Structure 1
């Protein structure tokens, strides 16, 4: 993570920790191209609702790094802005409770309400707690072999009790920056942005492919876990070695596309690991060519 990224994250964390976030909503970055303004403005409103003005300011600080940067056109900047907003508003139980509560505003008086049942991994639920508590619990459930146990959670607007529970869960958002999950997401976003920045310097034609790797990570539960594992495998096996000069991939974008096509739901990542090994072997043999995806 860059020094600027660390300072922005700490400034946001401190603002939220000392009390209610009453900071002013941030302005759009100076010099932001007009075609990106509406998208970035929507992202700011989304993140204020998600966590607060200071969190939206962190988004603006991150986006500002790419405004006017060589090699970043309006389309590329818009994709960075869009995908970063999605990742910064990641789905955790707190967010799902927030969204469930919004249904109440659109319901007619006397409506019966509804119930959503979501399946999380136990470690995922614990990771939403402040790290000072969660780390001890995570160690215990890992030791007991229960970390990946699936747990069903009800999000209900059908009763006063259900609505009260949703409000309590949604209210936990102020503690989100202290959670294990937040720390992991912060590191991920910074690493993703860092890889984009390195692509612009080392292999500019690969930058769009690196930007779009963010779409690999979605949702929660097993889908989220699989996406995160696959993303790290591709970055660590192909992207970073290429930027470090260890792997001479002349067409990194094509290699990333091939690897993503091999990423299927599989906790062992067998097909993906074989594909990455194959791509690396082609480079070693001096016969690297991309294979068009069907």
Structure 2
């Protein structure tokens, strides 16, 4: 993760936490191609709803890095803009509560309320808390062997109590940027952008494929954890060593596609690791 990325994230985290937010949405970045404007505008509105104007400004700052960059056409920039917004609005219990509350804004009398039950890993629920508290709790549940324990959470608009609880959960948005989960997501987004940047420099034809690796990570619970582990395996095993010059892989895009085809819901990643090893074995390793 670059120093610039760290400073940007910390600046916007502080602004949101202390309330130093002028409630004015950020402008679209200068020089943004017209075909990308609708995607970026939609993303800005999404992220304001998700976290606030300062968080949307972080999105604009990140997107600005690729405007006018050599090798980045309108289609590629649009995909960076779209997928970055998806990852920056990652699903956590706070977001699910926000979306559930939004159901109440429908037409009067249109719905009597409903109940959703979602399953999270215990470590995931704790990870949504501020790191100063979460880190001690995570150590404790790891010690007793509960980190991977599944917990069912009700998100209900069917009763006053359920709605009141949703409002409390959604109100935790203010603390989201201090959470363990956000710290991990911030690092991931910056690394993904860095890999795109390196691909544009080292192997431009692979850049669209590197961009699309963001689709490997989605949702929450086991699906999210598996996707993150698979993404890191492919990036660390194929993309990074190619960019570093340690692996003479001439067709990185094809290699990533081949590796992704071997992904399965296996926590041990047996098939994926085997496929990555096969791909690496075909090419010389530079020393």
- What is the TM-score normalised by the length of structure 2? 0.97
* CA RMSD, Structure 1 to Structure 2 (Å): 1.3
1:258 offset after TM fit, Å? 0.2
1:62 alignment counterpart: 62
1:36-83 residue CA offsets vs partner (Å, 9 max, x unmatched): 001100000000000000000000000000000000000000000000
Task: Tell me, in whole angstroms, the C-alpha distance in 1 between the residues paired with 2:108 and 2:189.
Answer: 40
2:221 alignment counterpart: 221
1:224 offset after TM fit, Å? 0.3
Task: Tell me, in whole angstroms, the C-alpha distance in 2 between the residues paired with 1:207 and 1:233.
Answer: 18
1:20 offset after TM fit, Å? 6.4
Distance 1:34 1:147, change over 3 A: same
Task: Tell me, in whole angstroms, the C-alpha distance in 1 between the residues paired with 2:121 and 2:21.
Answer: 30
1:2 offset after TM fit, Å? 2.0
Q: Secondary structure at the match of 2:81?
A: helix
Q: Secondary structure at the match of 2:85?
A: helix
1:292 alignment counterpart: none
2:279 alignment counterpart: 279
1:228-272 residue CA offsets vs partner (Å, 9 max, x unmatched): 000000000000000000010000000000000001100000000
2:119 alignment counterpart: 119
Task: Tell me, in whole angstroms, the C-alpha distance in 1 between the residues paired with 2:168 and 2:21.
Answer: 18
Q: Secondary structure at the match of 1:120?
A: strand
Task: Tell me, in whole angstroms, the C-alpha distance in 2 between the residues paired with 1:285 and 1:101.
Answer: 54
Task: Tell me, in whole angstroms, the C-alpha distance in 1 between the residues paired with 2:210 and 2:110.
Answer: 49
Task: Tell me, in whole angstroms, the C-alpha distance in 2 between the residues paired with 1:235 and 1:45.
Answer: 31
1:195-219 residue CA offsets vs partner (Å, 9 max, x unmatched): 0000000000000000000000000
1:155 alignment counterpart: 155
Task: Tell me, in whole angstroms, the C-alpha distance in 1 between the residues paired with 2:258 and 2:165.
Answer: 45
In structure 2, list runs of 5 or more residues that go unmatched: none
2:99 alignment counterpart: 99
Q: Is the Cα–Cα contact under 8 Å of residues 123 and 138 in structure 2 kept in the other structure? A: yes
Equivalent residues, number: 286
1:169 offset after TM fit, Å? 0.3
Dislocated runs of 4+, deviation >3 Å = 20-23
Moved more, 53-62 or 13-22: 13-22
Q: How does 1:17-96 map to 2 (within 5 A)?
A: 17-19=17-19, 21-96=21-96
Moved more, 103-112 or 5-14: 103-112
In structure 1, list runs of 5 or more residues that go unmatched: 287-294
Task: Tell me, in whole angstroms, the C-alpha distance in 1 between the residues paired with 2:110 and 2:282.
Answer: 65
Task: Tell me, in whole angstroms, the C-alpha distance in 2 between the residues paired with 1:27 and 1:285.
Answer: 46
Moved more, 219-228 or 14-23: 14-23
Q: Secondary structure at the match of 1:151?
A: strand
1:110 offset after TM fit, Å? 7.8
